[in-house]
Each structure stands twice: as C-alpha cells, then as structure tokens.
A = this chain, B = another copy of it.
Amino acid sequence: SRLEDTVKKTLAENPIVVYSKTWCSYSSEVKSLFKRLGAEPFVVELDELGPQGPQLQKVLERLTGQHTVPNVFIGGKHIGGCTDTVKLYRQGELTSLLSEAGVK
C-alpha cells in the first residue's frame, strides 16, 4: 500500500525513527534518551496526522507485530517500544546499534 511505502521510505532514509504520540510519556522518554545520546531521531507524531495516524499505526502493526507507541527503529531494524529500547541501553547495546547505523 501507499502508506506502507511511505513507512519503508522513512525507515530507509533515517537511521533512527520513532513513531510516537505527543501526549505519551513513554514516547517522550525514548525520544529524550536518543537526544541525550547525541542522536537526533526522526519522529512521527501519530496523533498529529489526523485520520492518517491510526492508519499508520495499523501499517506498523502489520510490519512489526507491534500496535503500541513508541515504535522504534534503528538502521531500518525494528527495535521495539520504550522498555525494549531502555533495556538495550542498560545492556550497553544501544550505542553499538547506533554506531552500526552510522549515528554518532
């Protein structure tokens, strides 16, 4: 679908992508984690896209099996949500994923 192609293009063009909602604290946490690591994520705020937001969220679920936000990708690879990302960070693996993706 056209929306699916948009997602794939976004993932191909941006080393870090976070599908987010502006009011969501888990989304805020993951966005600020990346910024603290000196890595600026490409953020898509699903609640600011009108009817396209829920449609995008459905596409992401089809692509990743995950229907929740935040939905995090590094180097085009699906990472997971907030807890997954924070766990990788605490295990010291997040920074290596970031460098592999050509960030910092």
Instruction: Give me the interface of A with B, judged by CB distance under 8 Å.
Output: 24-26, 82
Contacts and interface: CB of A to CB of B under 8 A. Distances in A.
Nearest to A82: B25
A67 to B, nearest CB: 10
Contacts of A24: 24-25
Contacts of A26: 25-26
A80 to B, nearest CB: 13
A15 to B, nearest CB: 25
A85 B25 CA distance: 15
A44 to B, nearest CB: 18
5 contacts: A24-B24, A25-B25, A25-B26, A25-B82, A26-B26
Contacts of A82: 25
A82 B29 CA distance: 13
Nearest to A26: B25
